[in-house]
Amino acid sequence: MNTANSKKAFELAQNVIPGGVDSPVRAFKSVGGTPIFIEKGEGAYLVDIDGNRYVDFVQSWGPLIFGHCDKTIELAVVDAVTKGLSFGAPTQVETKLASKICDMFDSIDKIRFVSSGTEAVMSAIRLARGYTGRDDILKFEGCYHGHSDSLLVQAGSGAVTFGTPSSPGVPADLTKHTLLAKYNDIDSVKKCFENSKNIACIILEPIAGNMGLVPADEKFLQELRSICDEHETLLIFDEVMSGFRASLKGSQGISNVVPDMVTFGKVIGGGMPVGAFGARLEIMNKLSPDGPVYQAGTLSGNPVAMFAGLASLEKILETKDLYSEFEQKAKRLVEGFKKAANKNGIELQINVRGSMFGFFFNDMPVKNFDDALKSDTDMFAKFHQAMLKEGFYFACSQFETGFICAAITDEMINDCIESAQKVLSEIK
């Protein structure tokens, strides 16, 4: 596989962009080699600047339900662009998209659109603090909620602690209000509440996608709901990744647990930059201009992103058996990987939720971040590099999630499994 143009492009990019990339994981540091520079997308495929084509199991990290350059979404975007890129003023399409989302979720009476998942989570936490009048928040090791200061924390000594900054530039005075607990471990959550009577909210990915795919146990979610009710603390589901991906209603289409607030991103923009957060009426009424909690953004509700999101959501609703087909393909893919790995004496753990899939080179089931860290990342890097040469593009980290889109065919799945069998036999 020739990647000379990508190598040259990466060298040039490093002269003017930190690390040569605008988001760190893209630098391929965890899998080795040179990042592939993309020329265009075509349905299920990515095409790089050297002309190589790859079946894309990343799909822009989730939002492309129907693959690259879907005609329905493309036409909606083109039509919107001809009327203007941005107004900084209300448009009717915002109301249309908001109404569709609110109608789908029992937990959401109103929703506010923003420009990214990071912004959605940051704003939701501010609203939770304003609503409850409390300062502390509780998050879980391995769950990523964007790069805002309060959420860039690392574990201190022991399983439960107030967070300390995990990045220079983040003041300790901010992260001291962030408590850390272990995912799928309710005892660690109870200890947090013993340490603080000032917890405004618990935030988690109910289907974690940023330590690899690690779903929360239903009993764990139920116990979180009970603890939040007992302490009058808000429960926030971060569904920036799982929303409209794990099912039509994200985790809420799988679990019986209803959160107080939900954050979205990615999919509701159909591939355009967008995020959102929503909740029941009494919480959202605290948000400016109705209430005292301030949040604003010139590009919030951007009309091009709104039209793209509306076209995508309408197509999702019109497509019969979409998520069952996604799940069948995802299961067949990772079960094929597992069979090939076991045949070669390699331990592999797999998970699937709707169109989301994950696999760990690990000899034990992965239930939390500590478990995920025990995975063989060297093996994953070798697998990633070899599968890239075979024409299959996976997330460039062991600790990310893969996605099936509607353009991925059964034949592509079969070809990928065959390539995995070949690759695993060579690198065992």
CA 214 to chain centre: 12
Active site residue 367: no
Q: What's the alpha-carbon Rg for the chain, to the nearest Å?
A: 21
Choose, from 191, 249, 266, 315, the residue flagged as catalytic: 266
Question: Which listed residue (45, 54, 131, 144) is catalytic?
Answer: 144
- Residue 323 catalytic? no
Report the alpha-carbon distance of residue 428 to residue 187 in Å, rounded.
39
Task: Take residue 93 and report the two structure tokens written for it.
Answer: 């399409």
Distance CA 59, CA 408 (A): 11
Amino acid (1-letter code) at residue 177? H
- Measured between alpha carbons, how far is 304 from 205 in angstroms, rounded to an integer? 28
Answer whether 109's CB lies under 8 Å from 279's CB. Answer: yes
- Is 48 assigned a catalytic role? no
Establish whether the linkage from the previous residue to 289 is cis, with ω within 30° of 0: yes
**What is the spatial distance between Cα 356 and Cα 362, in angstroms, rounded to a whole number?**
19
375, two tokens: 């995975």
Structure tokens at 203: 């935030």
Active-site residue (options: 238, 323, 371, 382): 238
**Cα–Cα dist 290/12, whole Å:** 49
Question: φ, ψ for residue 355 (rounded to 5)?
Answer: -85, 0
The number of beta carbons lying within 10 Å of the beta carbon of residue 6 is: 20
Q: Are strands 153-154 and 164-165 parallel, antiparallel or unpaired?
A: antiparallel
How far is residue 208's CA from residue 221's CA, in Å, rounded to a whole number? 12
Say which residue the tokens 């919030």 belong to. 300
Active site residue ranges: 144, 238, 266
